[in-house]
Amino acid sequence: MSTPGKTVPERRPTLQSIAAMAGVSHQTVSNVLNAPDRVAEHTRARVLDVIEQLNYRPNETARSLARRSTRLISFHIGAGHHNEASMLDPFMRELAKVGAEHAYRVVLDIAGDEDEDQIASYEELHARRSVDGVVIPETHVGDTRPAWLVEHGMPTVAFGRPWADPDPRHSWVDVDGGHGMRLVAEHLLQTGHERIAYVGPPRNRGMEDDRLDGLLAGLVDSGVEPDPALHLVVESPSGLRQALPALLADHRPTALACRDDAFAFEAIQVLDELGLRPGEDVAVTGFDDSDLARICRPQITSVAQPIREVAELIWESLLAQLAGTAEAPLRRLTLPRLVTRDSTTTWSPA
């Protein structure tokens, strides 16, 4: 009997009430939620319609305990990470969005910048079973993290190639930076440039080589012989304040193809200080199509990475590993696109 003056709360829908309303068994409802491929399409549609009508939300805590699952994926970054032009922040947001569509959450873990620091963090996560898997957001030559994770049975996908490892055991997805820089070369050559300088850090048998070699290959494919004097090596964007004026005075490039948007942004500031018009006197391109490329004046022509596609591929691999259905490690190279803006489109040959 209800108490006068009090509202009796509606009972929370259960698998049993959904089954009764849909005219199916309790196990069929469970299969629709956990193994939909086992249920005929018309039955699945009927059950899902009832679930929507009743606004049913699974008890994820109970489901996780039953599966010994946390529904959490770890995303590690180094303690020193801070770069307004970095793709890690938008990538992490996209990864979280796709994960939420599969009822998973992404947990940000901060560890030291060295591999051993992050492996120590993985050891703790593994011992406590705190997460179901790991996404490595960046890779480098000699990276020891993927092998450790595979050896300890943790589902893992890296955003980045296994540089210098011809037969990796872990899954990875990457963006073809060489292709992106070929697009830059084609665009600059079509705009009328022939003296195109590459601006970035020294070669490292990894991403730096990928982007530089892509630009050089794009020039050669179009019949332009690359000039080694137009390769401006600087460790960081701040080094451009001293190095760029000398390059401009001695070698007269008409375009600067920069390693990323941070280098391109700094190059534009230096050109301004030298009384040169960025985009008009000297064209500038970046890479990553970050917020920095859009807030800069002029806005920077940049290579956009397909981070949604990368996030979806990473989750596809993770879910297969978690379900035990992954037959082989995922190895996928995705293609970026060029976004043209005023930093190149306002230039015209003298």
Are 343 and 255 in contact by the 8 Å Cβ rule? The answer is no
Q: Quote the pLDDT of residue 190.
A: 93
Indicate the average pLDDT of the chain.
87
State yes or no: pLDDT of 80 exceeds 60: no
The string of pLDDT tens digits covering residues 286-330 is 999 999 999 999 999 999 999 999 999 999 999 999 988 888 899
What's the burial of 240, exposed, middle or buried (CB within 10 Å: 0-12/13-18/19+)? buried
The residues near 349 (Cβ < 8 Å, ≥ 6 apart) are 192
The domains spanning 67-176+307-335 and 177-305+338-345 adopt the same CATH topology: yes
Look at the domain 177-305+338-345 and name its fold.
Rossmann fold (3.40.50)
The residues near 252 (Cβ < 8 Å, ≥ 6 apart) are 195
Q: How confident is the model at residue 65 (pLDDT cuts 50, 70, 90)?
A: very low
Q: At what angle do helices 88-101 and 307-323 cross, to 10 degrees?
A: 50
Instruction: Please give the distance of CA 95 from its chain centroid, rounded to a whole number.
Output: 8
Domain ranges of the chain: 16-51, 67-176+307-335, 177-305+338-345
Average pLDDT over residues 227-253: 93
State yes or no: pLDDT of 67 exceeds 60: no
Any idea which of 65-69, 131-135, 152-156, 211-215 has the lowest mean pLDDT? 65-69
**CB burial readout 150-162, b (16+ within 10 A) else e:** beeebbbbbbbbb
Look at the domain 67-176+307-335 and name its fold.
Rossmann fold (3.40.50)
Phi, psi dihedrals of residue 184, rounded to the nearest 5°? -60, -45
Q: How confident is the model at residue 81 (pLDDT cuts 50, 70, 90)?
A: low
* 75 or 11, which is more confident: 75
The string of pLDDT tens digits covering residues 26-46 is 788 877 876 677 788 889 889
State yes or no: pLDDT of 126 exceeds 50: yes
Tokens of 117: 């620091």
The string of pLDDT tens digits covering residues 40-63 is 888 988 988 888 888 876 655 445
